[in-house]
Structure 1
């Protein structure tokens, strides 16, 4: 997604230090390069442009990943499997879905790195995120990716037409939004969306925990579960059994995230789940 989201409430738009950082700070060289060369934004206008769109998004979706600029991380490109993903998409004609894409910034990174954008798909619960993505990257006329609004839990929705369609799915900052039972429902949906063949791949990153823990969101709207490596493996073992004995190779590691506070504090769980 990369949306580290909590359910919305009326007071959520009020900035606080744990959720909102007013100034963007230093923009990484890779992110700046994307805006300057892909979006063709003059170097001296990049910061102002990003800030304008971020503030507009915050007014609609006051999520910590927006308030604290985490959408600028371009997390897919930092994943250890990115070179393999890029090769599969560029030379193998494979298809890619960003599940819970937010601005779909990783779709833009793939397109900038030479992937045929007709092979790229992205969905989010809110259509206005996708519109803001076009505004952020100035590519509404040039990008040929397929964007659509979808609820991962909805039966009979847009995702149904894509069952068995994708070779690779990214779900970053997504599973951690839900309690464990809802995470299993998401996992089963992912299994249905991936091609039922060896090598089909799910990858991403999410908030983790050194010890598996389920906690309530601070506004009282439900709970969220954070995994460590072992509990993430256990979840996929259960999903595979329930899906008829499907086997997955699960690789996961916890990584510290220095400098994060509040909801974003704690380690990342970076993972791949590959069908055997």
Structure 2
């Protein structure tokens, strides 16, 4: 793996590592590179190689101001595919009670590396589990109907269309059966919704949504579950350097999906 340049690490990430993680500013770059290289050996996801695993997206969403407030009131949040759990650490840094936050990833090694990255094993009280979302007998089944909020960053887009329906349905079942529960997140999208090749997916395909296709998919999921969902989704331009890896119509799609 190549070494980390200072420009690749966002200001948000640096502030969190310094203020919450207690890592001296002059040591942050070397510290992140060391953890990144260990993560790459676990599995070579592109987001690991490109240092996107420290992106902080939730704090920049329109719903973020209500999330720490809801957590303080006793509601619970689930971070789906939490990787190094950086979004959870940001919530805690912003005053949210960590014991009301859960995170899940396919690979338990990333949870351990998250503690190493943020040096908080003895103070963070969030709950983490390793589970395969396609495994109907995993520990996720025990958590159905217990969450008010779900964060899903760079997760749903990993799968083809049919698998996205299955995965999204599983996530929707995590909601408490009350109006207002929501999923917030972002992922790779596109101007024209379509399947694309994806080398880290076992099927070799990923489906990229635009706002219309995402709404249509959640209409189907809602119909199957007997629940209505509203979908607020927008496309955003990618940074110019990302087009080395994507086609010209690739975008980021940001979404909030609420249970009615």
> TM over 0.5, yes or no?
yes
TM-score computed with the length of structure 1 as normaliser: 0.88
Match of 1:181 in 2: 162
Match of 2:173 in 1: 192
Match of 1:261 in 2: 243
Runs of 4+ in 1 over 4 A off after TM superposition: 262-265
Alignment of 1:213-232 (within 5 A): 213-218=194-199, 221-222=202-203, 223-232=205-214
Q: Does 1:270 align with 2:251?
A: no
How many correspondences in the alignment?
A: 255
Q: Does 1:50 align with 2:32?
A: yes
Alignment of 1:28-67 (within 5 A): 28-67=10-49
Given the superposition, is the C-alpha separation of residues 264 and 37 from structure 1 closer, same or farther in structure 2, using an over 3 Å criterion?
farther
**Does the 8 Å contact 1:164/1:192 carry over to 2?**
yes
Match of 2:152 in 1: 171
**Does the 8 Å contact 1:24/1:69 carry over to 2?**
no
**Does the 8 Å contact 1:24/1:51 carry over to 2?**
no
Given the superposition, is the C-alpha separation of residues 71 and 181 from structure 1 closer, same or farther in structure 2, using an over 3 Å criterion?
same
**Distance in 2, Cα, partners of 1:163 & 1:219:** 28
Task: Say which of 20, 25, 38 aligns to 2:6.
Answer: 25
**Distance in 1, Cα, partners of 2:53 & 2:201:** 25
Quote the RMSD (CA, aligned, Å): 1.5
**Distance in 1, Cα, partners of 2:71 & 2:209:** 29
Match of 1:156 in 2: 137
Gaps of 5+ in 2: none
**Distance in 2, Cα, partners of 1:70 & 1:179:** 22
Given the superposition, is the C-alpha separation of residues 220 and 108 from structure 1 closer, same or farther in structure 2, using an over 3 Å criterion?
closer
Task: Say which of 94, 119, 124 aligns to 1:143.
Answer: 124
TM-score computed with the length of structure 2 as normaliser: 0.94
Q: Does 1:212 align with 2:217?
A: no
**Distance in 1, Cα, partners of 2:163 & 2:202:** 14
Q: Does 1:114 align with 2:123?
A: no
* 1:218 CA drift (Å): 4.2
* 1:262 CA drift (Å): 4.5
**Distance in 1, Cα, partners of 2:95 & 2:102:** 15
Given the superposition, is the C-alpha separation of residues 220 and 196 from structure 1 closer, same or farther in structure 2, using an over 3 Å criterion?
closer
**Distance in 2, Cα, partners of 1:46 & 1:164:** 39
**Does the 8 Å contact 1:101/1:123 carry over to 2?**
yes
Q: Does 1:76 align with 2:85?
A: no
